[in-house]
Amino acid sequence: MLRTILLGPPGAGKGTQAVKIVEKYNIPHISTGDIFRENIKNETELGNRAKAYMDRGELVPDELVVEIATDRLTKDDCKNGFLLDGFPRTIFQAEKLDEFLAQRGEKIDKVINIDVEKDALVKRITGRRVCKSCGASYHVVNIPPKKDGVCDLCNGELIQRADDTEETVLNRIDVYNKQTKPLVDYYDKAGVIINIDGNKDLDDVLADIVKGLGK
C-alpha cells in the first residue's frame, strides 16, 4: 500500500520518475491533466463544469479541482495506493485531500519532492525539442538527434514548443514557487516529505526515491 504525491518544479523530471515509480510499486499514476482531459472527453458532469470555466479562459476553481481529483481516487485501481502528480497544487487542495482521505480511514504515506536548481531547470526545458510530425522528444544536449533539427524516426522537423522558451520557463518556475512550493512546508510539518536531489542522474534520483519510500 503506497499513497504518495509527486512534487517538483517544471523540468524536474517528474514525468520520467513517475513512469518508473508506478511500474515498481504497481500503483496508478494519477495526473490532474489526464483526469481533466478524460472527464471533458467523456462529457461527465464534472468535466462539463470544468470545461465551462476553461472555455471562458478562467482557472478551474479549487473546489472543482478537488472534486475531480478525489472522484478519481474512488476508482478500484486506487485500492492499493496511487501516485498523484499535479494535485494538490495549493494548501487548500492539500487540506481538502487530507479531509477526503481521513473520511475513508486513509492518509498520504509519503510526498516526494524533487528539487532542482533554477539554472538547471532552464537548461533542461529550453533544450527540449519535439518532432512536428510524430511527436518524438529530444534534447539538444541530453538526447540530441543524429542530424540537427531532424527527427531520427520520421525525418520530421524538430521544433521548440512555445512554452519551452526561457521567458515562459522562468514564469512557470515563478508561479510554481509562489503557488505550489508552500506544499513542501505543509507536508514537512506532517512528517511525510522526502526531499530528493533532482540534479543527479535519472537512475540515482530513482534510487534515492526508493530509499526514501522505504518499501
Catalytic residues: 14, 89, 128, 161, 172
Q: How far apart are CA 164 and CA 182, in angstroms?
A: 24
* Complete DSSP assignment for 1-40: -EEEEEE--TTS-HHHHHHHHHHHHT--EEEHHHHHHHHH
> Are the C-beta atoms of residues 44 and 51 closer than 8 Å to each other?
no
> Residue 176's CB: how many other CB atoms inside 10 A?
18
C-alpha cell at 159: 521544433
Report in angstroms the alpha-carbon separations of 48 from 30, 52, 59, 87, 117: 20, 6, 14, 20, 38
Strand 128-131, strand 2-7: pairing: unpaired
Q: Residue 163 phi/psi, 5° resolution?
A: -90, 10
Burial of 33 (0-12, 13-18, 19+ CB in 10 A): exposed
